[in-house]
Amino acid sequence: MEALRYALLDVFTTKPFGGNQLAVFYDDTNLPTETMQTIARELNLSETVFVQTPSDAKKEKRLRIFTPKVELPMAGHPTIGTAYLLADKGILDTKEGVNEWVLEEEVGEIPVKVYREQSRISKVEMTQPLPEFGEVYQDRQNVADLFSLSVEDLDPALPIQTVSTGVPFLFIPICTLDAIKKIQFRMDIWEKHFSRNPEIQHIFTFTTETENISSTIHSRMFAPAMGISEDPATGNASGSLGAYLVEHAVVSPVEQETYFIRSEQGFEMGRPSYIDITIGKEGEQYKEVKIGGTSVIIGSGEICLQTAD
């Protein structure tokens, strides 16, 4: 019987039972892909991470990231949460101030900054690939039906558009906080009009009306293709969200060509989350996409695997 240790974290929150749940198997166990997928399905969290020895000794760790249904090439809250765990447990050494790491994920190298203040990990920040903008989705009635809303609830001043910083999400602007809270996601509409196109399978909706005065955007994300009915905090989509908001002049720079955005998410699920997004541009070119936040370790456990006699 082989026992695999894991930690449970809440990511993008400073309080237990907020943010997005994550399981991290941190002992560098080299498991078959099918076994990792089975374990992720058994735990049934939005994502489960398996930490492995990197192929390049100059990198800190390799991460394999799974939803209950599929392996992801990259993901935000698993990267942030795993880096936090590796630092907090002392699996990777950290010094006071900023620690710069490079993690391997299926999409490639992911730069990470871990901020330590005395004995506390105060923040983890990851750099995402630069944004790729897809075509504008034209059928606004389909989108309104998907959410059980009216077309008038969709912001007419902004496009419905796919953006990717590693994984594509369809971004849908909603006029009011009241409307976004009323969303009832219809699987029949998703299966008919969205499920077969990988560019628009994952649905991210937002409004500029927020619960918290310090937030820029109030968000909700739905990803049935990943086995996630709704996600309380979506780091992978947040870099793309920031790029969308900059591209369509929803936000203004806080300093020359640098934009800071805070997305609040998960409120409708009872798991408030806050994701910090930084977008850097130089003229028309995007130069940097970063997301950041903190985490809370809330538990630990073991999965026991049968081994051959």
- Per residue in 66-117, pLDDT (tens digit) is 999 899 888 889 999 999 999 999 999 999 999 999 999 998 899 999 999 9
Give yes or no: residues 124 and 154 share one domain. Answer: no
Please check whether residue 29 is in contact with residue 49, taking contact to mean a CB–CB distance below 8 angstroms: no
Which residues on adjacent β-strands are paired with residue 274?
A: 264
Predicted confidence at residue 297, as pLDDT, reads 97
pLDDT at 1 over 80: no
Count the domains in the chain: 2
Q: Over the chain, what is the mean pLDDT?
A: 94
CATH of the domain at 104: 3.10.310.10
Give yes or no: residues 82 and 110 share one domain. Answer: yes
Predicted confidence at residue 141, as pLDDT, reads 97
Give yes or no: residues 121 and 48 share one domain. Answer: yes
Give yes or no: residues 116 and 161 share one domain. Answer: no
Give yes or no: residues 198 and 268 share one domain. Answer: yes
Predicted confidence (pLDDT) per residue in 271-304, tens digit = 999 999 999 999 999 999 999 999 999 999 999 9
Alpha-carbon distance values, 187 to 37, 38, 76, 237 (Å): 24, 25, 25, 21
- The DSSP call for residue 37 is H
Exposed (0-12), middle (13-18) or buried (19+): which is 227, by Cβ within 10 Å?
middle
Tokens of 25: 């198997």
Q: How far apart, in Å, do the first and last CA atoms of the chain sit?
A: 9
Give yes or no: residues 183 and 89 share one domain. Answer: no
Alpha helices in the chain, H assignment, sequence order: 33-43, 76-88, 140-146, 177-181, 187-193, 235-247
Q: Is 47 a catalytic residue?
A: yes
Question: Which is catalytic among the residues 42, 47, 135, 257?
Answer: 47
Global confidence as pTM = 0.88
